[in-house]
Amino acid sequence: MSSTLNVNTMAELTAKGEKPEVLFWVGCAGSFDDRAKKITRAFVKILNSVGVNFAILGTEESCTGDPAKRAGNEFLFQMQAMTNIQVMNAYEVKKIVTTCPHCFNTLKNEYPGLGGDYEVLHHSQFLQKLMEEGKLKIEGGEFKGKKISFHDPCYLGRGNGEYEAPRALLQELDADLVELKRCKAKGLCCGAGGAQMFKEAEPGTKEVNIERMEDVVDANPNIVAVGCPFCMTMMTDGVKNKEKEDTLKVYDLAELIAEGKGL
């Protein structure tokens, strides 16, 4: 469905003398990865429909430095962090929302020590708040009654203790939430964290995403929901590997909500 998105950059708003209530940190995957761009668009559709006053950095955004840090290059991480912090502090950013748990963790936990203090929310937390404030009405739509499993992203769940926000959203879809046998604190990684996304895995007997996909196949949902663009890639590959494309779909939380509302 083609639709016009209403997106301002911080630069545009500042030129008009305006300030958004929240900065949407799109992230590299959300900006460039074809599959993740759909998540970005879905999230913006929700923001537009609710009327959230947000802005993006646009071409002024740069990698948070997370993959560099996890790959051991602390120099590059701190260079990226300080550059981003200079930009955000110049715009007097107070609140950030992001659809990537890796950006979320880095911005929320690792930027303060380098001079960047912001309130940072993962989009599941942001959407949960909108829902609780009565601004966002979640409708099941085509997902009503469907079996949905949630794959916890490590950097949101185990890494930052957020297990409930994604589930609260899925509950509202009126879907049948089927937990994977390893979930929440015991959730198995998709295999992409720690800069693994950008390299081949070391030799072994199996790929991590295949091991994880087997948990999903065991739970046998119609949809596996994710909250991370890297998990999205790994799960989608897993579905292909298991030749389940016809019966098992992978969606981000934002896509489920946007679709459910017919946005």
Partner 1 sequence: MGLENILFVVAFAAAVFLFSKNLKAIIRNINLGKDVDISDNKPERWKKMILVAIGQSKMVVKPVSGLMHIIVYAGFIIINIEVLEIIIDGIFGTHRIFAVPLGGFYDFLIGSFEILAFLVLLAITVFFVRRNFLTIKRFGMREMLGWPKTDANIILIVEVLLMGAFLSMNAADQILQARGAEHYVVAGSYPISQFIVPLFDGLSNGNLVIVERVTWWFHILGILAFLNYLPYSKHFHIMLAFPSVFYAKLKPRAEFDNMDSVKKEVEMMFDPDADPYAAPAEPEGPVERFGAKDVADLNWKQLMDSYSCTECGRCSEQCPASQTGKLLSPRKIMMDTRDRLEEVGKGMDKNGKDFSDGKSLLGDYISEEELWACTTCNACVDACPIELNPLSIIMDMRRSLVMEESKIPSELAGMITNIENNGAPWQFSQTDRANWINEG
Question: Which residue is it, tokens 């001079």?
Answer: 115
Q: How far apart are CA 119 and CA 124, in angstroms?
A: 14
Q: Does 79 engage in binding with partner 1 (CB under 8 A)?
A: yes
| Residue among 193 and 221 whose Cβ is closer to partner 1 | 193
Beta carbon of residue 246, minimum distance to partner 1 (angstroms, whole number): 25
Only one of the segments 125-133, 138-146, 152-160, 242-250 lies at the binding site for partner 1 (rule: CB under 8 A); that segment is 152-160
Task: Please select the residue that binds partner 1; options are 55, 130, 197, 213, rule is CB under 8 A.
Answer: 197
- Residue 140 contacts residue 106 (beta carbons within 8 Å): no
Beta carbon of residue 113, minimum distance to partner 1 (angstroms, whole number): 5
- Residue 108 contacts residue 122 (beta carbons within 8 Å): no
Beta carbon of residue 103, minimum distance to partner 1 (angstroms, whole number): 12
Show contacts with partner 1 in window 98-137 (CB under 8 A).
Answer: 105, 109-110, 113-114
- Residue 26 contacts residue 40 (beta carbons within 8 Å): yes
Show contacts with partner 1 in window 156-185 (CB under 8 A).
Answer: 158-161, 185
Show contacts with partner 1 in window 20-39 (CB under 8 A).
Answer: 26, 28, 30-33, 37
Token duo for residue 67: 């993959």
Q: Does 96 engage in binding with partner 1 (CB under 8 A)?
A: no
Binding mask 224-253 for partner 1 (x = CB under 8 A): ------------------------------
H-type alpha helices, the chain: 10-15, 27-32, 34-50, 66-70, 74-90, 101-105, 123-132, 164-172, 208-219, 229-241, 253-260
Q: Does 217 engage in binding with partner 1 (CB under 8 A)?
A: no
Q: How far apart are CA 52 and CA 193, in angstroms?
A: 31
Beta carbon of residue 39, minimum distance to partner 1 (angstroms, whole number): 10
Q: Is 166 helix (H, G, I), strand (E, B) or coil?
A: helix
